[in-house]
Amino acid sequence: MKFFSHFGKYLLMLKGMLSKPENPKLYWKEYMHQCSEIGIGSLGIVMIISVFMGAVSAVQTAYQISNPLINKIIIAQIVRDTVILEFSPTLICVVLAGVVGSKISSELGNMRVSEQIDALEIMGINTKTYLVLPKIAAAITTIPMLVIVSMFLGVYGGRLTASLSGVLSADTYDKGLMEQFIPYNVFFAMMKAYTFAFLLSSIPAYFGYYVNGGSLEIGRSSTKSVVITCIVILFADYILAALLL
Amino acid sequence: MIEFRNIKKNFGDKLVLNDVSHVMENGKANLIIGTSGSGKTVLQKCLVGLFEPDAGEIIYDGMSFTHMDEDHRKMLRQQIGMLFQGSALFDSMTVEENVRFPLDMFTKDKNLVKLKRVNEVLERVNLSGSNKKYPSEISGGMKKRVGIARAIVLNPKYLFCDEPNSGLDPQTSGLIDKLIYEITKDYNMTTIINTHDMNSVMEIGDNILYLKDGKKEWTGTKNDIIYSDNKNLNQFIFASEFLQDAKQMRMMEKK
């Protein structure tokens, strides 16, 4: 019962943010600010994780393919496909649910508790449109870009490790990358990136926007939003895989 | 003028406002007083639309706020300024940006015109020169004054103040009261102030509504309050022996 009540309130929040901005210029400024906060702010962690993700993936794939009859070129293909299909969109978005999601939730929660949201309401501003919409729009714009960066860096991380550890030469790795490449996989990964970007910004926004109480509740709601977002992302991952693959 | 009739508000089983009616007059400091938990803040939040009352009607200068659609409410809210208990300043903005925010959102004035207006209201609240400071760099009293400046920057017709003296020393409290009172008179606004500060009541109480357990218990002015024989009001206002003695003296002087 509680789930339906939250879900209904979440849908109403999404509906409520679709109204005409009072001053499009200020909304654009806020959107650009959020793009910088979410996109540029998360670039560092995404880059580090992606390189290591690809590197570990290459080492572990090489370890499992010990049969001399199997062409080692397949290591590059496995790294490429796992990075594109799963690691970059899903793993990166789960990490971003923690980084970006908790930030959105605690920022809105703090504004709610310190009555800043009420102050905006009193001024006649639709706070859902002014505070929530730019965050979701910025996440939908920047997170797929981060996923693309992650794909390149993940594959590059695998190449670097494979060549440095002597598992595969850089040339062979590059050759493997070009073979049996399915462009649809990138489309599928982007579909996941857009879906997860929406989820990881809107769910924490809901928890932050409707927080009640003080600083303790802000912390609790931030943690809860990250946990729920991660679960919903994994569930959506399964649904999208079942539908689109 | 703001009139409200038969306002009722429940939170679950708890009846917080019970059939409260009153008229808040134009150009006067209208005070809502009462002990903590008496329903002052809930009543004020109902009046500005942050809470929806379960029953009753709110009327702003002849227009029913209760039956207004969201677009008209938004228009009306641009004529409302509010000072919050904790000031509710935007942490990431400077004093100037905080005060300027409503102008940026709702006017198409040029930057110089906006800056002139910001400096005007900052000067009005005695905060000239604090433009570039952040809320974390200023005192509680200054925050309240920035809150007032932000609330009046669009020349509102209605000013709401929720506990403007809370957390302030008596001297700063007095200054804030004086400032709100002067602004009310200068701009001929309808000002509604929630307070349980007795100095405020005695200094600026043009029209006082006393709430007890969510019900209207007494109404009058600061001059009436001394001579009121309402037991609950007297217990609330003259809670300390010092104030009781002061009341006795005033009564004797009158005789």
Residue to substitute from A12, A27, A30, A115, interface B, most B β-carbons within 10 A: A115
Q: B227 at the A interface (CB within 8 A)?
A: no
pLDDT over 80 (residue B144):
yes
Which amino acid, residue A177? L
pLDDT over 90 (residue B209):
yes
Q: In the predicted model, what is the mean pLDDT of chain A? A: 93
For B101-110, what is the mean pLDDT?
92
**Which of A22, A118, A126 lies nearest to residue B84, judging by beta carbons?**
A118
pLDDT over 80 (residue B253):
no
CB pairs under 8 A between A and B: 52
For residue B99, is it within any domain?
A: no
Nearest to A167 by CA among A11, A57, A46, A52: A57
Contact A26 B104 (CB under 8 A): yes
**Amino acid A53: pLDDT:** 94
Nearest to B191 by CA among B83, B69, B62, B51: B83
Nearest to A84 by CA among A53, A39, A63: A53
A137-194 confidence digits (pLDDT tens): 999 999 999 999 999 999 999 999 999 988 889 999 999 999 888 999 999 999 999 9
Q: What is the span of the domain harbouring residue B207?
A: 1-79+203-255
**Amino acid B255: pLDDT:** 63
pLDDT over 70 (residue A214):
yes
**Amino acid B168: pLDDT:** 82
What does the block give as tokens for B24? 């808040």
Distance CA B11, CA B122 (A): 39
Nearest CA of chain B to the CA of A14: how many Å? 17
**Amino acid B205: pLDDT:** 87
For residue B221, is it within any domain?
A: yes
**CATH number of the domain to which B68 belongs:** 3.40.50.300
Which amino acid, residue A92? I
Q: A26 at the B interface (CB within 8 A)?
A: yes
Contact A119 B82 (CB under 8 A): yes
Q: B50 at the A interface (CB within 8 A)?
A: yes
**Which of B78, B88, B89 lies nearest to residue A118, judging by beta carbons?**
B88
Nearest CA of chain B to the CA of A207: how many Å? 19
How many other C-beta atoms lie within 10 A of the C-beta of residue B69? 7
Q: Let me know: does A198 contact A140? Beta carbons within 8 Å.
A: yes
Give ipTM to 2 decimals.
Answer: 0.86
For B10-23, what is the mean pLDDT?
92
Confidence of residue B225 (pLDDT cuts 50, 70, 90): confident
Q: Let me know: does A163 contact A57? Beta carbons within 8 Å.
A: no
Contact B85 A118 (CB under 8 A): no
What does the block give as tokens for A234? 């994994």
Confidence of residue B230 (pLDDT cuts 50, 70, 90): confident
Helix, strand or coil for residue A211? coil
For residue B47, is it within any domain?
A: yes
For A53-59, what is the mean pLDDT?
94
Residue of A nearest to B151 (CA): A123
User: Which strands sit side by side in the sheet containing B14-24, from one edge to the other?
Assistant: B14-24, B2-11, B55-60, B63-64
For residue B187, is it within any domain?
A: no
* Separation of CA A170 from chain center: 30
Contact A122 B50 (CB under 8 A): yes
pLDDT over 70 (residue A245):
yes
**Amino acid B167: pLDDT:** 80
Distance set, CA B82 to CA A89, B144, B150 (Å): 45, 11, 8
For B47-74, what is the mean pLDDT?
91
Residue to substitute from A25, A123, A126, A129, interface B, most B β-carbons within 10 A: A123
Q: Let me know: does B9 contact B206? Beta carbons within 8 Å.
A: no
**Amino acid A104: pLDDT:** 96
Pairing mode, if any, of strands B190-195 and B158-162?
parallel
Helix, strand or coil for residue A5? helix
Distance CA A84, CA A28 (A): 32
Q: B169 at the A interface (CB within 8 A)?
A: no
Tell me how many domains chain B contains: 1
Angle between helices A170-178 and A73-82 (to 10 degrees): 60
**Amino acid A167: pLDDT:** 83
